[in-house]
């Protein structure tokens, strides 16, 4: 909440200076990267590296047959950074509470330990998945907020609607559009015949719009009773391990933002620009005009900004 308060303050300052602010860049993008940096126990100022490297890795995966290669081999600079932190945790015995230290303790304690390479691969996946997907979710949430003033007012007046808003957005605009699976033994799927060792693209978007499952599947229903039954995070043994974290981030960002901002309006004439990554869904830019809620809350922005800067130092 303190971080979002600081970022909203910066967005308001940019609005005052330039007339608008791209909140995808000023408010939404820094949040997932900062959370991941905190989880890994790495310097907060390195969060911009994670965003940069994550975007680069997604682009590199699109080249040739790179999608089949281990992520650690695709971005040497990213891999080297994580290797340094793994070595640092080894030096202090992996006693910390960050994710790297915890993985190292598992590597020592379990019968089938994780190698340094396995830890690095998991960390890279965590950084890309936890950053890119949550950023897409936040972008889709705030695009709807900024596009519909009546909806924005309703949400501000009744915060209990926020969880269902998140779930319905996950259903209609899944941050991950599909997942890739291998079919080792062959199978029948509807009218299709899948041969042994086939590669299958499983559309989460299609599942979340299935008319046999959802009433009026293409409509956004803020009060849909079964909204949380979607497959945006997958299901079963492959369900996203960061699902709880993504929901928590989205809820806190929205709630804090609505406390601080009275009005959010899209800059007139700006079109929706989709994420260019083929498996992702969400806007990459969101230029808006902001109006702060009250003077007292604006003072809270300044106070929180000072607190954040002090803690980071």
What pLDDT is stored for residue 132 in this prediction?
84
| pTM of the model as a whole | 0.85
What pLDDT is stored for residue 24 in this prediction?
95
**Cβ(242)–Cβ(130) below 8 Å:** yes
What pLDDT is stored for residue 296 in this prediction?
42
What pLDDT is stored for residue 308 in this prediction?
45
> What's the CA gap between 23 and 231, in Å, rounded?
27
What pLDDT is stored for residue 107 in this prediction?
66
What pLDDT is stored for residue 258 in this prediction?
95
Average pLDDT along the chain, 313 residues, taken 10 residues at a time: 94 95 94 89 86 83 76 87 91 86 76 81 82 92 95 94 96 92 87 90 93 94 93 88 92 96 93 88 95 65 49 49
**Cβ(69)–Cβ(87) below 8 Å:** no
């Amino acid at each position: 909440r303190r971080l979002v308060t600081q970022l909203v303050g910066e967005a308001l300052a940019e609005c005052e200076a330039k007339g608008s602010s791209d909140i995808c860049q000023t408010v939404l993008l820094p949040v997932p990267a900062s959370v991941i940096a905190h989880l890994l126990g790495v310097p907060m100022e390195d969060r911009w590296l994670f965003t940069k490297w994550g975007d680069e890795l997604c682009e590199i995966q699109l080249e040739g047959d790179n999608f089949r290669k281990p992520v650690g081999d695709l971005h040497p600079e990213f891999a080297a950074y994580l290797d340094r932190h793994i070595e640092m945790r080894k030096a202090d015995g992996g006693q910390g509470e960050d994710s790297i230290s915890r993985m190292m303790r598992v590597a020592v304690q379990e019968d089938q330990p994780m190698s340094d390479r396995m830890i690095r691969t998991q960390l890279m996946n965590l950084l890309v998945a936890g950053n890119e997907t949550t950023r897409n979710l936040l972008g889709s949430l705030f695009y709807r907020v900024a596009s519909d003033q009546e909806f924005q007012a309703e949400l501000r007046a009744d915060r209990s609607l926020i969880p269902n808003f998140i779930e319905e957005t996950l259903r209609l605009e899944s941050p991950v559009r599909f997942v890739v699976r291998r079919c080792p033994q062959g199978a029948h799927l509807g009218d299709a015949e899948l041969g042994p060792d086939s590669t299958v693209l499983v559309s989460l978007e299609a599942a979340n719009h299935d008319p046999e499952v959802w009433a009026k599947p293409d409509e956004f229903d803020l009060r849909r009773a079964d909204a949380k039954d979607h497959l945006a995070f997958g299901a079963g043994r492959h369900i996203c391990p960061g699902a709880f974290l993504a929901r928590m981030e989205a809820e806190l960002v929205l709630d804090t933002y609505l406390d601080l901002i009275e009005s959010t309006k899209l800059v007139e004439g700006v079109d929706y620009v989709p994420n260019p990554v083929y498996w992702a869904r969400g806007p990459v830019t969101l230029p808006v005009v902001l109006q702060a809620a009250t003077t007292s809350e604006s003072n809270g922005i300044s106070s929180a900004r000072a607190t954040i800067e002090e803690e980071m130092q």
